[in-house]
Every structure is written in structure tokens, then in C-alpha cells.
A and B are shown apart, each in its own frame.
Chain A
Amino acid sequence: MLSLIGIVIVVIGFVLRINPLLVVTVAGIATGIASGLAPLEVVAAFGKAFITSRYVAIVWLVLPVIGLLEHAGLKERARAVVAGLRAATAPRVLLAYFAIRQITAALGLTSLGGHAQMVRPLIAPMAEGAAENQYGDLPQSVRYTIRAHTAAVDNIALFFGEDIFIAIGSILLIRGFLDQNGIHVEPAQLAIWAIPTAICAFVIHCTRLLLLDRKLRAELAQKTEQV
């Protein structure tokens, strides 16, 4: 039971909005010591795990070129392209991105997306551009809402698309785990049972996007009239 202290610290830290790096470090050290490691052993275990998971930080290598292109007007261009499409609204842009992201992930092309590569420089400016085009200058809160939705679309479409591809990490993990326990399943069997949830994810989230479209129209159209 004592080993659960780390979870308690994380929850309290996040609720009190203490710097998450500090919270996570304290939680890790407390968990290690509660499970009987010496303090230096805990620091070593931390270092080892930090070093072996460096691959999650490779994505920052995109920043030099993305920054360079942003300096040259990439976001402004993305906005302008969408401004040329009269049918485009922010939620419709997101709906199209959802479909593309989910289908390509289901084909194993999970790298066709990502927050640093696609969402910040391209998709978010396109969605904002579509809304600007429709309603003129946007209140900052609406910009934030649209951006948060863009990030959410990237995540949800990825998560509930990728498991349909038979060679993705999670399918391999499931298969390996079941094999160890003497149960043999084919990857295709696992992938097929990911399809019902994938369809539901599309229906649920796209319905929410359409409702967002209505909500924005109700909110912003009113404002335009007042002016």
C-alpha cells in the first residue's frame, strides 16, 4: 500500500498546480524509497529510465525548420489557403483532418501528423483562418477553443485509428503478452476488433465537432450583429 504514495503525490501536485517536473520527481523518489530502494539507487533508476526514453524527444528536431518556415509566413499562408475555400468552417476543417488522420493511421501511416509538425504550423492556423474568414476578428477565447480542439482531433483520430493496423506497437504488445500466457491470437483478429470502436470514435467526435460549429455560429454571429 505504501507504494501508492507516488500516485497520491502526483494527484495533489497536479491539483495544486505545482511545477509538474518537481511533482513527478518527488513522486518518483517517494515511490522508490517506499519500495525499499536507497536514495542513490532511486536517483540511478530515474537517470536510467530518463535516458532510455530519450526517443520521445526526437520530435523537437522539427523545431528549427518549422521555426524557419513560420518566420517566412507559413502560418499566414495556411490561413490564406483556407480563406479561399468558402465552405470551410473551423469545425469542418477539423472534421476533414480527423478523417485523414484516422484513415492514414489505420493504414500504419501514424507519422502523418503530430503536434509540432502538423498541428501548430498547419492545421491550427487553417482552422483559425476558416473561422476568421467566417466571422471576422475572433475573440481570444474562441482562438484558444479552436486550437485545443485541433490538438484533440490529432490525438483521438490517431489513438482510434492506429490499432486497426496489424503491425502497430500495441497489437504486437498484446500478442506478445497473450503468447506468454499460452493464448495464441493472430494480429488480424486483434485489428478487426478495433474497428467497431474506431467507427464509434469517428461518429462521437465528429458529432461533437458539428455541435461546435453550431455553437460558434450562435455565439459569433450574434456578436457580428451587435457591431
Chain B
Amino acid sequence: MITLEHIYWLSGLMMAGVAIVNWRDRSNPRRLNNTAFWGIYAITFLAGSYLPDLANGSLVIAMVLVASIRGLGQGKQESATREEREASARRWGNKLFVPALAIPLITVLGTLLFKKIIINGMPVVDVTQVTVISLGIATLVALATGMIMLRPPLLAPIREARRLLDAVGWAAVLPQMLAALGALFAIAGVGNVVSGLAQRWIPLDNPFVVVTTYALGMAVFTMIMGNAFAAFPVMTAGIGLPLIVQKFGGDPAVMAAIGMLSGYCGTLMTPMAANFNIVPTALLELPDENAVIKVQIPTALMLLGTNILLMNFLVFRR
């Protein structure tokens, strides 16, 4: 059976390759920092499941220190010039889209089909992680297709991965760091403190105020945690169920569905949701790391207002 662990090995090998390419690149003045950063990251993929928590934690702290004290650098870009790329684009035409589009299509197909393939009573992949494993397999198929089609030097893929990963830099690791912060918030009971504050300070004897508090609370708490899934149990146990459902007789399905979507409005407005908001600014080479959030805020606020009105209107409709 293919499990997530195998995909982690693949990621670890890629990160190790990126570290080695960086080590050999003398055009980058901070090449040793880059080597250490991606090298340690590779270890967390290859050995993280077998190391004790404390060792993993120390590796993470070491990465943070490398990235923040002297910082990561970038080598001289060795990719083709614009003219070369345009000539190549004319030569290959729409065939270039085939490997690129193969990634999402194979991921979707894998998600649908892998669940159904069973050999000797065992599914071929771990069905609980089928989407992520499918994505890993899809990238391999796409890479093989690209290699056969373009026939580049054998090491070209890892050099290209190095170029892109160094452009993203430390932001590549931020989503995982924020997940770790969320876990510490959960251990410390941050959620209960926040919903306790809301209950103490806001007059919760009017249904409109309660619904508005719940929806706003979902958005604000999602902004703090970076994830609506973390905010939902806290806000719903603290305000949603006792007040909207039990006290005022609201419909729990409406409350939960629109409550979660109010949380998503918060996701659009916070740097804590790094994989949606910060990583793309690095990928798109935007100088302002809040550029995506700034574009999203007007839609998020209008939609949050809409959600508050919708919930007020729909939750008590009976």
C-alpha cells in the first residue's frame, strides 16, 4: 500500500537535491544558509516520523534560526532568456500544456479511482490520504511526461525546483509553522479564553446580536488561528449551540453551514492563512507580501456582511 510516508520520502529527496544544488552554487553568497535550511527540511521529511518529538522540534528551531538570523539568498538565475523561452514556446506549442494539465487531472482521477482499486483485500493507497497521495503520484507522471517530451539534461528538474523554491524561500515552511502554532494555542486553551471574553462582554439576549457575534467571532477567530476548522468548534460550543440553537431555537444546519463560511471570510483577510495568502505572493514574485490579502479584503467584508444577514434571515425561518 502506498501511504503518505512514501510521498514524504519523495519530498525529502527533492529537498535534499535542492540543498545539494545550492551547496554547489558559488554565485549565491549565502549558499551555506540555503544548504542548511533545505537540508534540515529534507531531514524532517525523510526521518521525521522516526525521530522523537524533541529532536524534530530542535530541527525546526534550527531552520528558523538559519532563515531569520542571516537569511536565505538566491543564486544567479541560470534559466533561459526570454527570447529562448519564446522560441521554445513556438516550437512546442500547445503540447507544453499536457504535462502541466496532467497534474490536476491525474490528481482528480486518482482521488476518485484509487479508493476502488483493491489488491489482496488491501487498497493500493491509504484511502484516508488519497488526495495528497494522488497529487504526489500526479507530479511524478507529469515529470516523466515532461522529461520524455523535452529531453532536458537529467539534473534539470532539480535545478528548476531549486530556482523556484529559493524564490519562495522561507514562506514555503510558514504554513507548517502556523499549524504548529495552532497546536500550541489548542494546548493552551486560547479558544476558550476568547469565547469566554465574548460571552462576558457582549449583550447576548437579542437574537440578531447573538447571530452577528457568532458570525463575526468565526471570522475574527479564524483570522487569529489562520484556519476556520480551528475556530468552528470553539465558537459553536461557546456561542452557537447554547444561544442560537438552544435559547433562540435556530436551525443548527443553517447556523453551522453559514458559520463555517463566515470563518472562510476571515481566512481571506489573515496572513496566518499563509498557504493561501502569503505563499502565492512569493510564487508570483510580488514585492508586497500582503498584496493578495489587500485584494481579498473588500470581497471578504462584503461577504461577511452578507453572511450575517443570510444567517439572521434563514436560521430562524421556522
Residues of A within 8 A of B (CB): 1, 3-4, 6-7, 10, 14, 19-22, 24-25, 27-28, 31-32, 34-35, 37, 40, 42-78, 80-81, 109-122, 124, 144-145, 147-152, 154-156, 159-160, 163, 169-170, 173-174, 177-178, 181, 183, 185, 189-194, 196-197, 200-201, 204-205, 208
Contact = CB atoms under 8 A, between A and B. Distances in A.
Interface in B44-68: 44-45, 48-49, 52-61, 63-64, 67-68
A81 B302 contact: no
A71 to B, nearest CB: 5
Contact of B280 (A3, A43, A77, A119): A119
A121 to B, nearest CB: 6
A109 B108 contact: yes
B98 to A, nearest CB: 9
Given A28-B181, A58-B7, A72-B89, A155 B256 contact: no
A35 B183 CA distance: 13
A183 B283 CA distance: 43
B295 A152 contact: yes
B292 A118 contact: no
Given A43-B57, A148-B292, A31 B188 contact: yes
20 contacts: A3-B185, A7-B224, A10-B181, A22-B67, A28-B180, A45-B180, A47-B54, A50-B179, A54-B176, A63-B164, A64-B139, A64-B158, A68-B157, A69-B150, A148-B284, A155-B268, A155-B277, A185-B256, A200-B310, A201-B303
Main secondary structure of the interface of A (DSSP, over half): helix
B11 to A, nearest CB: 6
B286 A147 contact: yes
A52 B161 CA distance: 24
Contact of A49 (B7, B100, B184, B278): B184
Contact of A57 (B11, B79, B307): B11
B262 to A, nearest CB: 9
A200 B303 contact: yes
Contacts of A78: 97
B86 to A, nearest CB: 5
Contacts of B34: none
A155 B64 contact: no
B211 interface: no
A197 B258 contact: yes
Contact of A48 (B56, B93, B182): B56
A127 B67 CA distance: 33
B177 interface: yes
B74 interface: no
Nearest to B105: A112
Contact of A6 (B80, B190, B233, B296): B190
Contact of B257 (A110, A115, A154, A193): A193
Contact of A44 (B53, B108, B143): B53
B206 interface: no
A63 B108 CA distance: 19
Contacts of A201: 299, 303
A30 to B, nearest CB: 9
B100 A122 contact: yes
A1 B190 CA distance: 8
Nearest to B159: A67
Contact of B252 (A66, A120, A183, A196): A183
Nearest to A64: B157
Contacts of B44: 50-51, 54
A119 B283 contact: yes
Nearest to A124: B284
B97 to A, nearest CB: 7
Interface in B133-179: 134-136, 139, 142-143, 146-147, 150, 152, 156-161, 163-165, 170-179
B56 A204 contact: no
Contacts of A61: 7, 10-11, 14, 135-136, 139
B267 interface: yes
B209 interface: no
Given A20-B274, A54-B8, A65-B99, A45 B284 contact: no
A-B pairs, 6 with minimum CB distance: A67-B160, A47-B57, A73-B89, A47-B56, A49-B183, A35-B188
Contact of B179 (A20, A31, A49, A110): A49
Contacts of B45: 54, 57
Contacts of B104: 111-114, 117-118
A43 B10 CA distance: 26
B103 A65 contact: yes
Nearest to B188: A35
